[in-house]
Amino acid sequence: MKKILYMFLYMFLGYASAKSNTEKLGDVLAFVLPAAAYGSTFYMDDEEGREQFFLAYGSAMSSTIALKYTVRAKRPDNNDRDSFPSGHTLSAISGAVFIHRRYGLKYALPVYLGAFYTGYSRIRVSRHYPRDVLAGALIGALSGWYFVSPMQKLSVTPKVENGYKGIQVNYRF
């Protein structure tokens, strides 16, 4: 969990050193989109969704950190050796896929646009190669599709207690 917080801090601090508006917006979206996805779990009073968010985002970010320090690919701008995969793209796509899987595509469309822009911005400002952005997007998407399930508005569960047998019906508005 600590590494995820460090990655968020790293991305947010990158905003201060960003040279162009394209890079600044990509940095902000990489932070804001998963934060909005996590925040949506509070708005929807969705405790199960919070757990799924942490599983999906945490596993994706852990995988990315491990790959960055294993592969050691140079960036297009020769700044350092943390190019593969794109953590910014992974972060943004993770937020979009979480909202899509959990709450539906109609809520995720604007988030997907922001996530695609984040990937574009990383290539445009020569921080990543297209393969880095694609790998980050795939890791974020696969993790979300694996760990996140749609929120059930209607649930019917059997209920057996002392002297009582029946069903419990819950509906979320």
Amino acid present at 13: L
Cβ-Cβ contacts under 8 Å for 115 (sequence gap 6 or more): 29, 33, 89, 92, 93, 95, 96, 137
Give the C-alpha distances (Å, rounded to integers) separating 16 from 25, 60, 115, 133.
11, 25, 20, 22
The pLDDT of residue 88:
95
Asked if the model's pLDDT at residue 154 lies above 60, the reply is no
The pLDDT of residue 12:
57
Q: Is the dihedral of CA 104, 105, 111, 117 positive or negative?
A: positive
The pLDDT of 3-26, averaged and rounded, is: 67
How many other CB atoms sit within 10 Å of the CB of residue 164?
Answer: 7
Predicted confidence band of residue 158 (pLDDT cuts 50, 70, 90): confident
pTM: 0.79
Q: Which domain holds residue 122?
A: 2-171
Give the C-alpha distances (Å, rounded to integers) separating 92 from 6, 38, 96, 121, 158.
16, 12, 7, 12, 39
Which is higher by pLDDT, 23 or 135?
135
Angle at CA of residue 45, ends 57 and 88, nearest 5°:
25
Q: Which residue has the tokens 């969705």?
A: 46
Which is higher by pLDDT, 160 or 138?
138
Domain count, the chain: 1
* Measured distance CA(115)–CA(160) in Å, rounded: 46
Predicted confidence band of residue 152 (pLDDT cuts 50, 70, 90): confident
